Structure 1
Amino acid sequence: FFTGKPATSNTVSEASEPSVIAVQPKINESFGPVKPTDSFELSLSQPGIDEKNPSSDLKVLKYHRDIYESCHYECRSAFDPDLQWTAAEEKKLIRKLDYRVCAFACFAYFALQIDRGNLSQALSDGLLNDLGLTTNDLNTGLTIFKVAFLLAEIPSQLISKKLGPDRWIPMQMIAWSIVATSQAALSGRASFFACRALIGMLEGGFVPSLVLWLSYFYTSKELPIRLSFFWTALDGTQIIAALWAFGLLHMRGLHGMAGWRWYPCPGPLRRHRHQA
C-alpha cells in the first residue's frame, strides 16, 4: 500500500535485485492438503517434465487406483504413478504407436472390407448362374448377413470385455478369414446362406472392439486424427479390391474353377504358383 514516504536508495536497490520465488505445487483443495511426493518435487527441477501430475495428490491417486481395480483394467499392475517423461519422449512414442498400432488397425479394417466386398465382385463374374441362385436369393443372403452382424454386436463386445480386444480381435480375423476362404467351395443356396450368416456373426462387433483398442494407446485429443486414417481405409479398400478382382476374375477356367472362386481362395493360388 502507498504510505506517503518517498522511496530511499536502499529501497530502489532492493527492488532491482531479482527475487527467488519458491514454486509450490497446485493442489486441488477439494481433496484437502496433501504433501507432494518426492517424484513431483523432482519434476519441478527437471526442464521439460510436465508439472501437472495428478498422482501427486494421494487421494486422487487412490481414487483412480480403485477404479482400475474395480473395472479390472488391463495392465493395471504395471501402473507407475512416479513415471515421468518429457514432451519430446512422448512425441517419439506417439510416432511409434502410429507405425505399429494405428497401421495395424487400418490393415485390419482393410481386411474386413475385403471380405465384405468380395460378394459384389463375384456377382460380376456370374456367381448367381454358377450356383443356380436368383436375385431374391441374393437379397435374402444379404439380409441374413446384416441380421447376423447386428445380433453379434453385443455378444462380441461382451467377449471383447472378458478376453480383452487385444486377444479377441485376432481371433475374429482368423475365424472370419477361414469362413471367407471356404466360399470358394460354395455349391448352392444353402451353403451360400450359411456362409453369409457365419461371416456376419464373426464380423459383428469388430469395429467397436478395434476403436476401443485404439483408445488404449491414444488420448481423447490424439484419437480423432487416427480414426480419420482408420475410416480412410474404407475408400482405399474399394480401389484396391477392384484392381485385385480384375486380375483374379480373369482366371475363370483355370483348373476348371470359376473366376469368382479364385477371389476368396488363396490356397489354389499358392499351388498354381508352385506348379508354374
Structure 2
Amino acid sequence: MRLFNEKTDVSPSASDAEAYPPTGSLNYDDDLHVQCPSHTTERKLVARIDMHVIPFLCIMYLLAFLDRVNIANANVFGLAKQLHLTGDQYNVALVIFFAPYILFEIPSNLLLKRLRPHVWLSLNMFLFGFTMIMQGIVKSYGGLLATRFFLGLFEASMFPGCFYIIGMWYRRSEAQKRYSFFFSSTTLAGAFGGLLAAAIGKMDGVAGYAGWRWIFILEGLVTAVVAMIFFFCLPDFPEESKWLTSEEKAYVAARLRADQGRSARERKITAKDVGGVFKDYKIVVAGFMYFGLIVPAYGYAYFSPAIIKSYGYGTIQTQLHSVPPWAVAFGFALLTAALSDWTKKRWPFAIGQVER
C-alpha cells in the first residue's frame, strides 16, 4: 500500500475514494511514498492503535457520563428530600450543568491541541472527579447548583476532545466502530451506575453520611484517581506517541492524509475555521438530529430511576431494574456500527434509528 511522505500526498484506493472522497486535492508521486513498515501489517498496526487509544477514551468518558447522571441514582436515595428541594429545583440542578458544557466545548478543543491530550483531558478529569466529591458533601440547594455548574465546565472537554483524538488516529472507513464503541460507553455508564448505586446505597449511615452522598464521594474519588493514572498513559497524537517507531508514525500520518486531506492538526485553527463549521448544512442538519436524540436520552438517564421506583420497587431493586435497557442499547449500537462500516453507508442507519 502506497501513501505519501511529508512532501507528497497519495490518492486513496478507488473503492475508498468512491465511498470516502478526500477533503482536498491530493497529488501522487511514484518516487516518493511511504509503505507499511516491513515488520508489521496494516491490520496489526491498527489493532495496536486500538489497544493504546480506545480503552483509555472509553474509560474516561464512561466515568464522565457516570458522574453527570448519577444524580438520578442519588435522588432515589433521598437527595431531594435531604437538601429540601422544592418545585423545579431538582430540574434546575440538572439543567445548569449544560450551560458551561455547551459554551466551553469549542474553546476546550483549542486548548487540547495546544496543551496535548494527556495533560488537558487528565487535568479536567481530575477536576470533575474532585467536584463530584464536593457534591457529596453539599448542604444546600445553592451548593448543589455550584457543583453541577463546575461539573459541566470541567466535563466540557471530554466528548469533543475524545472524538478529535479518534479522528487523528483512524481513517473514516475505520472510525465508525471506534466512535460507536466510545460513545456506547455512556450506555455502560448507565448500566454500571445502577449496579454501583445498588451497592453503594447500602453504605447509608456510614461515617454519618447518607447513601446518596457516598454515591458521589466514591465515584468522584475513583474518577480522580484514574485521572492521575491517565496523565502518564493517555494517548496524544500519532506524531507524539512513544510506542510507535518513526516509520510507523510516518505511515499512520500518510494513511490519514490520503483519506482525509490536510488535517487541522497540521495548521492553526482560526475563528474562520470555527465559523465555517456553522455554514455547513450537513453539520446543522446533524446537529438537529443529535438534538432529537439527546433530549430523550438524557430524559431517560435523569428520570428513569424515579419512574421505575414509581412502580413500587424499593431503592435497591429500582437501581437494579435500571440496568437492562442500557445493556441492550450497548449491544445494539455496536451491531449497527459494524453494519455501517461493512456497507460503507451512514444515512440509512442514522435515519433508521430514532433512538437506540
For normalisation by structure 1, the TM-score amounts to: 0.66
1:247: Cα distance to partner? 1.1
1:158: Cα distance to partner? 2.2
One-letter identity of the residue aligned with 1:254: V
1:83: Cα distance to partner? 6.3
Residue equivalent to 1:114: 66
2:115 to 163, 169, 177: 163
CA RMSD of aligned residues (A): 2.7
Residue equivalent to 2:199: 247
Distance in structure 1 (CA, Å) of the matches to 2:217 and 2:33 = 50
Cα separation, partners in 2 of 1:267 and 1:103, compared to 1, 3 Å:
closer
Distance in structure 1 (CA, Å) of the matches to 2:213 and 2:131 = 13
Distance in structure 2 (CA, Å) of the matches to 1:230 and 1:122 = 25
Count of residues in Structure 1 that have an aligned counterpart in Structure 2: 201
Cα separation, partners in 2 of 1:198 and 1:213, compared to 1, 3 Å:
same
- What is the correspondence of 1:182-197 to structure 2 with a 5 Å cutoff? 182-197=134-149
1:143: Cα distance to partner? 2.0
2:162 to 185, 206, 210: 210
Residue equivalent to 2:3: 53
Task: Check the 8 A contact 1:262/1:268 in 2, yes or no.
Answer: no
Task: Check the 8 A contact 1:146/1:200 in 2, yes or no.
Answer: yes
Residue equivalent to 1:143: 95
Q: Deviations over 1:103-126 (max 9, x none)?
A: 111111111111011100110011
1:193: Cα distance to partner? 0.7
In the alignment, is residue 95 of structure 1 matched against residue 44 of structure 2? no
Q: Deviations over 1:81-137 (max 9, x none)?
A: 656425952222211222221111111111111101110011001101111211421
Q: Deviations over 1:117-171 (max 9, x none)?
A: 1100110011011112114211221221111211121221221132123321111
Distance in structure 2 (CA, Å) of the matches to 1:116 and 1:269 = 14
Unaligned runs of 5+ in 2: 11-31, 223-356
Residue equivalent to 1:64: none
* Identity in percent: 27
Distance in structure 2 (CA, Å) of the matches to 1:238 and 1:267 = 13
Residue equivalent to 1:105: 57
Choose between structure 1 and 2 for higher RCO, CA contacts under 8 A separated by at least 6 residues. 2
Distance in structure 2 (CA, Å) of the matches to 1:262 and 1:83 = 54
One-letter identity of the residue aligned with 2:218: P
Residue equivalent to 1:237: 189
Distance in structure 2 (CA, Å) of the matches to 1:109 and 1:143 = 20
Task: Check the 8 A contact 1:166/1:213 in 2, yes or no.
Answer: no
More displaced 10-residue stretch of structure 1: 217-226 or 115-124: 217-226
Residue equivalent to 1:76: none
More displaced 10-residue stretch of structure 1: 260-269 or 118-127: 260-269
Distance in structure 2 (CA, Å) of the matches to 1:197 and 1:165 = 23
Distance in structure 1 (CA, Å) of the matches to 2:153 and 2:131 = 11
Q: Deviations over 1:16-58 (max 9, x none)?
A: xxxxxxxxxxxxxxxxxxxxxxxxxxxxxxxxxx2x23339x5
Distance in structure 2 (CA, Å) of the matches to 1:227 and 1:82 = 27
For normalisation by structure 2, the TM-score amounts to: 0.52
Cα separation, partners in 2 of 1:241 and 1:224, compared to 1, 3 Å:
same
In the alignment, is residue 228 of structure 1 matched against residue 180 of structure 2? yes
Residue equivalent to 1:176: 128
* 3-state SS of 1:221 partner: helix
Residue equivalent to 2:84: 132
Which structure has the greater CA radius of gyration?
A: 1
One-letter identity of the residue aligned with 1:240: F
Task: Check the 8 A contact 2:121/2:157 in 1, yes or no.
Answer: no
Distance in structure 1 (CA, Å) of the matches to 2:87 and 2:171 = 47
Cα separation, partners in 2 of 1:253 and 1:162, compared to 1, 3 Å:
same
Task: Check the 8 A contact 2:130/2:221 in 1, yes or no.
Answer: no
Cα separation, partners in 2 of 1:268 and 1:212, compared to 1, 3 Å:
closer
Distance in structure 1 (CA, Å) of the matches to 2:74 and 2:126 = 22
